[in-house]
Structure 1
Amino acid sequence: MATNLALDQELLDRAFRVSGEPTKKAAVTRALQEFIARREQKRVAELFGKLEWDSGYDYKAERGRKL
């Protein structure tokens, strides 16, 4: 999808340096991928301490179980 964006040139130059990407499209795509990944990781991290854990669950026994 073609989109015109007014990007801060200093930020774009820094993105090129740290990412090693050769084009604007590649640098912006990488930035968006990493932004999304970080936000998804943050949501998972927020679940720590909120889920109930079954202390009697034996994950090793489940590995050998045949379906």
Structure 2
Amino acid sequence: MSKTLIEIDEEALAVAQDAFGTKTKKDTVNRALREVSDRVKRHEARMAAERIAAEALDLDALTDKAAYRPTPGDDDQGQAA
């Protein structure tokens, strides 16, 4: 960890301390940074999962009923005589 001198918005800090339940400026800033980092990682993971799902699953094929439902006059496979 490094030590850095920064100016902090005291009102925003107070809101963050209330939200996180932290007591010190250091704990509050570190918690906020971890929260943002975790959120970015979750977003990146979700985007990667969506890309994988889009490549693996063709939703247009699933919504095309003609692709999986027989039409009258087709083979009568699976129907009782």
On whether the aligned pair clears a TM of 0.5, the verdict is: yes
Partner of 1:30: 31
Partner of 2:77: none
TM-score relative to the length of structure 1: 0.71
Partner of 1:57: none
Partner of 1:48: 49
Partner of 1:21: 22
Say which one has the larger Rg: 2
- Please list every run of at least 4 consecutive aligned residues from structure 1 whose deviation after the TM superposition is greater than 4 angstroms: none
Structure with higher helix content: 2
Partner of 2:75: none
User: Gaps spanning 5+ residues in structure 1: where?
Assistant: 54-67
Identity within the alignment, %:
28
The one-letter code sitting in structure 2 at the alignment partner of 1:46 is M
1:3 equivalent in alignment to 2:12: no
The one-letter code sitting in structure 2 at the alignment partner of 1:21 is T
Equivalent residue of 2:50, what SS? Answer: coil
Q: Deviations over 1:6-49 (max 9, x none)?
A: 01111001011111101000000100111000000000111233
TM-score relative to the length of structure 2: 0.60
RMSD of the TM alignment (CA)?
Answer: 1.4
Give the superposition deviation at 1:50.
Answer: 1.7
User: Gaps spanning 5+ residues in structure 2: where?
Assistant: 58-81
